[in-house]
Structure 1
Amino acid sequence: MKQESLFVKSDEHQLHVRHIYQQEGGTPILMLHGTIENGKIFYTQSGKGLACYLAKQGFDVYVPDLRGKGLSIPTLHETTEHGQHEMIVADIPSLVKFVAEKTGKPMHVICHSWGGVVFCSSFARFPDLHSHVLKLVCFGTKRSVYRKTFNKFWKVDVLFNRIAPFLAKRKGFIDAVKLKFGADNETSRFLKECTYWVKINPWHDPVDQFEYGNAANSIEWPDTWHLTGVNDDLLGHIDDVKAFVEETNPAAKVSLLSKQAGNLKDYDHIDILTDANAVQDHFPELVSWLNK
């Protein structure tokens, strides 16, 4: 298996893309990470993770770091002003175009958490992306958090919606790595735009008011599979996942991974991708579904 770093231009940014493959010519897969993380949620240099597993099955895998994340250039600093709007209107179209032009083939798209929200937003907004996407897979993807629990109040309402934006406003970005509650950092504007949707507001763009909900209801979605873990009680709770499914593609397949459902363990928001059991558990089933 081979790994190489490529770079894709998006506005003034150079997006780092980890290209992972066993051999040339396989069906391409674009994998998009979520909030306060980067592409390494999908791979390690030693060959672990879903991206590496898929490459070993013959897929041609591309794992980007969205702007300001991972090895993308430039990194976040005090004057960084972009938010999720730029990811939706610039980064994702640039990445899809790059993979399509490099491989000459349509691709599968696999997302984790908020990566699924920004991808679905871009897909709904830009019809020229549709012909490039074969199937869509989302792990733990929700847009709004509807549940009312103490855990939600403390971690979402207080920490994410109030404290994090306050800290980010002082520095220009939230240093989640230094504060030890994330694998990567986020800009102040990203937090503001993301929080707007998490708070159960309409699915329209807080920057230019584009109506994603209306657009999503007027297009044909690719075959879609949403997976989440029974122990994901906040960031990808099954009820919130289903609510996002209703906003996008109500015909999508939805799976709750748990011992009760026959899985090897009760998965949560992160180990649904990183646990060693996944290689014998839902990863093979995912490959079968992609190859149908």
Structure 2
Amino acid sequence: MQSSSHLFPVALISAERRGDLIEDVYRLKPGNSLDFTVELAVTRLGLVASPDARGVPVILLHGSFSNRRFWYSPKGIGLGAYLARAGFDVWIPEMRGHGLSARNEAYRHNRVADYARYDLPAIAAFVREQSGQIPHWIGHSLGGTTLAAALGGHYLGVEQAASAALFGSQITRNFWPLKVPPVQWAGHFVLKRFAHFSGPRFKRGPEDEPMGIILESLRWRGLFGRFGDKKDDWWSGLRHVQVPLLAVTAAGDHQDPAWACRELFEQFGCERKQFLCLGREQGFTEDFGHVRMLVSKAAQVQVWPLVQAWLKREDVAPLAESTLNVSTTP
């Protein structure tokens, strides 16, 4: 393999023109975990009009049962395409076994811990090498949770993340039956027999999720569970994070409710952070839901410009003076 990087083997596996956008897909083989079969597909979006231009890099992390198409549809619609057209250098990774990323040998055992400890730092290093700048990160749902794990575990810091934006991400919403040990043990016994949870079959999304992710989530929510792995307490580690944070929740999100997203936001110790709720009471035209907060015509008009403003480091004042309910810490 002829590498496109000095860090580890990287191959450009696709280079296409999609309307006014350039879509380059890279395959990364970091070789930094115990499973050396891990390959990660990372898509870069640029402008046909200025193919060599390198704007501010932004990395977009999809959620569970999803892939790069959450950020960028085949018709060139999505937050990723919007940011590319605004001049940003957009990078969209797909987690192990999702989209163009092949299933690794230990696919069924993949966990957020693996994504946070191994994959995100490798992606950050590659994007920084290619762009020459520290990237911004945006994660939706499990993508945001993974980003929080990487920051709380100190696998990513100010040298790998210029800022972090979490959309519909939380880890403190508990299901009390899982606190009962026999229920948790029974669930673990049944689920561990399967390699994955089918997104298409259960109408959760276009992708499957490895069972390791499901079992890890059960452990977090168990009687003595915590947000972390055996070695690191990510929840406590969030207190020491210095990366600027934007946390966005949706008033109509019943999967990851606003109060739980707020708890995750409050745990971060960074000085510069903002919390935004997308709902009618805050001046929006609707109570956005878990997906519609980023994928809808209303989001294109009301939410995407706010993301662009955050990335461009505009002053907090324009947001605070609007009808939006934005909580900030100085």
TM-score range for the pair, normalised by the shorter chain length: 0.7 to 0.9
1:29 offset after TM fit, Å? Answer: 0.3
Q: Residues 94 and 268 (structure 1 numbering): CA distance in 2 closer, same or farther, change over 3 Å?
A: same
What pairs up with 1:131-142 in 2 under 5 angstroms?
A: 131-142=159-170
User: Which letter does structure 2 place at the counterpart of 1:2?
Assistant: I
State the partner residue of 2:232.
Answer: 210
1:70 to 96, 99, 102: 99
- How much does 1:196 deviate? 2.1
How far apart, CA to CA, are the structure 1 residues paired with 2:208 and 2:43? 19
Task: Give 1:198 shift.
Answer: 4.3
Secondary structure of residue in 2 paired with 1:256:
strand
| Sequence identity (%) | 22
Q: Give the whole-Å Cα distance in 2 for the aligned partners of 1:114 and 1:162.
A: 24
Contact residue 145 and residue 199 of structure 1 kept, 8 A: no
| AA of the residue aligned to 2:236 | N
Ranges in structure 1 where 5+ consecutive residues have no aligned partner: none
Deviations 1:67-124 (A, max 9, x none): 11111013689x7332222111111111111111111101110000121121121123
TM-score by length of 1: 0.86
Q: Does structure 1 conserve the Cα–Cα contact (< 8 Å) formed by 2:154 and 2:237?
A: no
Counterpart check, 1:8 vs 2:28 = yes
Shift of 1:164: 8.4
The residue aligned with 1:126 is 154
1:269 maps to what in 2?
Answer: 290
How far apart are residue 147 of structure 1 and its match? 8.1
Contact kept in structure 1, 2:134 and 2:161, CA below 8 Å = yes
- The worse-fitting range, judged by mean Cα deviation, of 18-27 and 168-177 is 168-177
Give the partner amino acid of 1:38: N
| Equivalent position of 2:303 in the other structure | 282
Which protein has greater RCO, CA pairs closer than 8 Å, 6+ apart? 1
Would the alpha carbon gap of residues 26 and 163 (structure 1) be closer, same or farther in structure 2, given more than 3 Å must change? farther
Per-residue deviation at 1:36? 2.0
Residue 188 of structure 1 deviates from its aligned partner by: 1.6
Is the Cα–Cα contact under 8 Å of residues 114 and 143 in structure 1 kept in the other structure?
no
**Cα deviations by residue, 1:233-283 (Å, 9 ceiling, x for unpaired):** 2x2211000111122247521111112212132210001111011121121
User: 1: distance between equivalents of 2:217 and 2:117?
Assistant: 15
C-alpha distance in 2 between matches for 1:273 and 1:175 = 23
* 1:197 maps to 2:220: yes
Distance 1:48 1:162 in 2: 44
**Distance in 1, Cα, partners of 2:310 & 2:113:** 31
> How far did residue 169 of structure 1 move?
3.0
SS at match of 1:179: coil
- Aligned-residue Cα RMSD (Å) equals 2.6
2:144 is aligned to 116
User: Larger Cα Rg: Structure 1 or Structure 2?
Assistant: 2
Could you say if the C-alpha distance between residues 85 and 92 of structure 1 is closer, same or farther in structure 2, counting changes exceeding 3 Å?
same
Q: 1:219 deviation in Å?
A: 3.6
Please name the residue that 1:244 is paired with. Answer: 264
Task: Return the letter of the residue paired with 2:200.
Answer: V
Aligned length: 278
Q: Does 1:182 align with 2:205?
A: yes
